[in-house]
Amino acid sequence: MNRRSFLAATSTGLLVRFNLGAAETKPAKLNAFVHIAPDDAITLYVHKAEMGQGTYTSISMLLAEELDADWSKVHPAFPGVSKEYGPFQGVFGSQSMRTSWEPVRRAGATARALLVKAAAQQWGIPESDCQTSNSQVTSSKGKLTYGALAESAAKLSPPTNIEFKKPADYKLIGRSIKRLDSAAKSNGTAIFGIDVYRPGMLHAAIARSPVFGGTLASFDATRAKAVPGVKDVIKVSNGVAVLATNTRAAFEAKRLLKVEWTEGPTAANSTPTITADFEAKTKLPGAVARNTGSLDGFALTLESAYSAPFLAHAPMEPLNALADVRPNSCEVWASTQGQSAAEQAAMRITGLKADQVTIHSEFMGGGFGRRSNADYISEAVELSKLAAAPVKVTWTREDDLQHDLYRPASLVRFAASLDSEGWPAALRARIACAPFGGLRDGVSRTGVEGVHDIAYAIPNIRVEYHAADHGIPVSYWRSVGFSQNTFFMECFIDELAVAGKKDPLALRQRLLKDSPRLLAALNLAAAKADWGKPLAAGKGRGIAISNNIGSFTAQVAEVTLTNGKLKVDRIVCAVDCGIVVNPRGVEQQMQSGIVYGLTAALKDAITIDRGRVKQTNFHQYDMLRIDEMPAVEVHLIASTMQPSGIGEASTPGTAPAVANAIYAATGQRLRALPLQTGTRA
């Protein structure tokens, strides 16, 4: 009982509270995903992290569907890291539903089969005479609740042959279900990583080198140690850490540190020099990522260069982690996309085995790929080990923007040729960006995705890649390489349409003749957006497509420019993502991806000055505001195919759709992000 509830209860009279030692009922474990208590409460373990994308609800729906559970009795929870959930636990690449569709439904169906078997044995009848519904097994013998059967069911051997429900029998899948985490996130009871506290814990803030790759030369902590609440200031592997009794003291002491850094070679790099290197590299042949047909004999006279800047992830909840390292154990509480990565980091730093490390997954206030890395978790584990106490590391917004793992800056140089009828006949693309995700034959797959794997039926295509590493750390950003390469590709396709005197929609329709699902999304988006219907002066429509995570997506943007002021009025989006588990959740994620894509399209860039990030906070790295939000329509295409990803599906197509709409309205072709049209309404 806390102080607040005690005062409320005793303000009008005497409260006497006793614990009479009532026996605790422990839920029976039917498998790693399904635990059922005697009172029929069903705990469904969601092994994927929840950062706002809706897996907390959608995975629960998959389990509850095959379990035939009473939805009102379902209680999701996050488990620890266990091989029972697969070789690696984490959320990235919009793979939650793609990788959960079969195993999670199997877990639900297996648990249901065990409950049926237990009921049949109790009644002495064949299992085929039993039916399930609403957390009950029924037969001519009567009804038994799942709670009454769970303990005996958990002792049985699971069946080897499991039959899934037919789609016609679905009661949850395909319905718009309210998110199970919305209420807690609205009333403040949801626990995010930044909310976790442990008895006796210390709060930490870390001063890191302002130049990427820089190292600590010396520091003076005299003024920092004078701040009330500061317990210690120590050197750590990536800088200087302040340990204090509260976060405010740690932040203030960090500000008062006098630190000298050895800057290293990255200090020689700035945005202009990086861009110049990109431009020089793309004028030369690179490592071949794709070579379809042959460019021999074609005059590649249609040329354009497109560029995109570094981008930060900027999740709403700043990075944080809490670790408690002891001689024979390590516990970590964190908002993380990568539970297994967190476990591996803890094992590496402590030298402990997997069964000695516990990872507590908490809700995330955004991730966008940033929280798939365990660097911030490593900091907490290292500090807890050094301090011999629980330590919580919290990043400031300045830390977040200036020490991110960024979406790489990139530049592509296109050259193309049209046939005698004005259709694209040959295309060459040379891409320069920092490699991430590894190199194979000199090519970063993530660096070229969205260009080398286009679905357009252009007979002769050559894509080349230049690895251009300037010491700026890069990693996965929502929709990864597609986020910039779809902008490049879809805008250049529009340029080819104009050069060949073709309608941008008609050109795409012809080139997508071998991609029926993508073509269907394109046609639906165009129809819903009234493509071809005349617009008033100063208005324009633009179109773009993408298929970055197995979801076939098309978008039409409608914009208005008045005296140089840009207003994005409307975005119409169509998507085929296979079987839709929760239509409301899909629509929300498509809207979310569009907001994220619009912010990147219109506002942001991380710029480098002598190896340092110039942007420090949201006054220099702005977000889309509510008065700038266009009307968004999302149209779902019915499908019987296995679910594909959705969290990153709508982000890539947003920028090119808007850029192509600007061209339609003004005749101005914008080839660099963020899009600059003067001022914006």
DSSP string, 175-243: S----TTHHHHHHT---BGGG---TT-EEEEEE--SSTT-EEEEEE-HHHHTSTTEEEEEEETTEEEEE
Confidence bin at 564 (pLDDT 50/70/90): confident
- Tell me the average pLDDT across 156-179: 95
Burial of 394 (0-12, 13-18, 19+ CB in 10 A): buried
Residue (of 532, 551, 548) closest to 540 by Cα position:
532
Q: What is the pLDDT of residue 508?
A: 98
Q: What is the pLDDT of residue 574?
A: 98
The mean pLDDT of the chain is: 95
Which tokens hold the place of 68? 């035939």
Q: Which residue has the tokens 């803030």?
A: 205
- Can you name the residues that pair with 570 across neighbouring β-strands? 558, 631
- Can you name the residues that pair with 326 across neighbouring β-strands? 329
pLDDT tens sequence across 181-214: 999 999 999 999 999 999 999 999 999 999 999 9
pLDDT tens sequence across 35-61: 999 999 999 999 999 999 999 999 999
Q: What is the pLDDT of residue 677?
A: 83
Q: What is the pLDDT of residue 678?
A: 63
- Please give the residue that has the higher pLDDT: either 270 or 679: 270
- Please give the residue that has the higher pLDDT: either 679 or 384: 384
Q: Is the pLDDT of residue 7 over 90?
A: no
Report d(CA 598, CA 607) in Å as an integer.
Answer: 19
pLDDT tens sequence across 534-563: 999 999 999 999 999 999 999 999 999 998
Chain Cα centroid distance, residue 104 = 20
Task: Specify the CATH number for 272-297+406-666; select among 3.30.70.20, 3.40.50.300, 3.30.499.10, 3.30.365.10.
Answer: 3.30.365.10
- Tell me the average pLDDT across 427-444: 96
First to last CA, the chain: 52
Q: What percent of the chain has pLDDT over 90?
A: 94
Q: Where in the chain is the domain with CATH 3.30.365.10?
A: 28-187, 193-264+319-394, 272-297+406-666
Helix (H, G, I), strand (E, B) or coil at 459: coil
Residue (of 397, 433, 430) closest to 412 by Cα position:
430
- Tell me the average pLDDT across 398-421: 98
Q: What is the pLDDT of residue 15?
A: 35
Q: Is the pLDDT of residue 680 over 50?
A: no
Q: What is the pLDDT of residue 8?
A: 44
Chain Cα centroid distance, residue 530 = 32
pLDDT tens sequence across 260-278: 999 999 999 999 999 999 9
Q: What is the pLDDT of residue 10?
A: 43
If one looks up domain 193-264+319-394 in CATH, what number appears? 3.30.365.10
Q: Are 608 and 584 in contact (CB under 8 A)?
A: no
Q: Are 207 and 263 in contact (CB under 8 A)?
A: no
Q: What is the pLDDT of residue 542?
A: 98
Low-confidence winner among 10-19, 112-121, 169-178, 417-426 (lowest mean pLDDT)? 10-19
Q: 295-317 in b/e burial notation, b at 16+ Cβ within 10 A?
A: beebeeebebbbbbbbbbbbbeb
Q: What is the pLDDT of residue 497?
A: 98
pLDDT tens sequence across 569-622: 999 999 999 999 999 999 999 999 999 999 999 999 999 999 999 999 999 999
- Tell me the average pLDDT across 326-351: 97
Q: What is the pLDDT of residue 24?
A: 58
Q: What is the pLDDT of residue 261?
A: 98
Q: What is the pLDDT of residue 315?
A: 96
- Tell me the average pLDDT across 295-304: 97
Tell me which architecture the domain covering 28-187 has in CATH.
Answer: 2-Layer Sandwich (3.30)
